[in-house]
Amino acid sequence: MIIRKAKLSDVKYIYKLILHFSKRGDVIPRPLSELYEKVREFYVCEDKDLIVGAASLHIVWEDLAEIRSLVVSEEYQGKGIGAKLVEACLNEAKELGIPKVFVLTTSPPFFKKLGFKEINKQELPQKVWTDCIRCSKFPECDEIPMIKEIGYL
């Protein structure tokens, strides 16, 4: 298994993974057109020519980025793929000079193991919540905001 930057040929597989998990309410759905536009934000996990996981690093502001759409196929969960995808996103943020990365998650224990800490939603810019309108849980959000300060390279 390898973690790498996504290619255009991966987008349809990323879309299927996100669609599956968005139907369960785990992630916000993303239109196929948006995934093509933002393919450069994505990392994928590939196993024998099969895309089994994905995550994106979305830059929000000069000092803040968000890890979005972290998904791993059920049959591949528990193998450290999610952590490796998060690590790839954090490494890119560090290379770009972005000192803080946040997530909105229903799995705080997973992110806590990776060094994220829980914060109050009011600590995040209002702009962050613009995606929430697309979420099936809106306005009754059960996601927990967490942040990790990574500093600079």
Rg (CA), the chain: 14
Structural domain span for residue 27: 2-149
Where do we find the tokens 């996103």? Answer: 89
**Six-digit token string for 63:** 């000092």
What total of structural domains would you count in the chain?
A: 1
pLDDT, average across residues 42-46: 98
Which CATH number characterizes residue 107's domain?
3.40.630.30
**55 Cβ contact list (under 8 Å, min separation 6):** 42, 43, 67, 68, 69, 70, 71, 82, 85, 86, 88, 89
Q: What is the pLDDT of residue 142?
A: 73
Rounded CA separation 115/135 (Å) = 26
pLDDT tens per residue across span 105-149 = 989 999 999 999 999 877 776 655 666 655 556 556 678 899 999
Q: Are 55 and 70 in contact (CB under 8 A)?
A: yes
- Say what the pTM is: 0.89
